[in-house]
């Protein structure tokens, strides 16, 4: 599904098409949300696929992220093996998870492995 989500990417500048799938829970049930990266001519306004998927989940009331699947393709449509969430995405995933597992073409990692110093404001 993450590979399919790359089709929704808008990446005219980087030509790096990312798709993400988030498995999230609302405490009663789990649901799947997808996202793709959306670039902007003002590069700082670009949003990563992971955050798009997480924000969709959160706004639908699914605020516990269980798993994240990420696939990226280059401009020729080839899957990029070495891909991982950026620092901003890691912090967003951390805030809405408790041990979420991040799956990439090159391996799977817990969010704590990718962001050992993540924080939540309610942690003091």
The catalytic residue positions are 50
Q: What are the tokens at 41?
A: 């001519």
Q: Which helix (H) or strand (E) holds 54?
A: helix 49-59
Which residues make Cβ contacts (< 8 Å) with residue 72, sequence separation at least 6?
Answer: 6, 16, 17, 18, 19, 79, 80, 83
Q: Report helix angle 49-59 to 87-95, nearest 10.
A: 20
Burial per residue of 42-68, b for 16 or more beta-carbon CB atoms within 10 angstroms, e otherwise? eeeeebbbbbbbbbbbbeeebbbbebb
């Amino acid at each position: 599904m993450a590979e399919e989500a790359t089709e929704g990417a808008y990446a005219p500048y980087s030509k790096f098409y990312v798709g993400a799938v988030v498995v999230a829970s609302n405490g009663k049930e789990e649901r799947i949300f997808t996202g793709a990266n959306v670039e902007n001519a003002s590069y700082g306004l670009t949003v990563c696929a992971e955050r798009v998927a997480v924000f969709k989940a959160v706004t639908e009331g699914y605020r516990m992220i269980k798993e994240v699947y990420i696939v990226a393709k280059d401009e020729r449509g080839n899957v990029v093996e070495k891909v991982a969430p950026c620092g901003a995405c890691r912090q967003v995933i951390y805030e809405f998870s408790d041990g979420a597992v991040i799956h990439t073409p090159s391996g799977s990692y817990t969010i704590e492995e990718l962001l050992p110093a993540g924080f939540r404001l309610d942690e003091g």
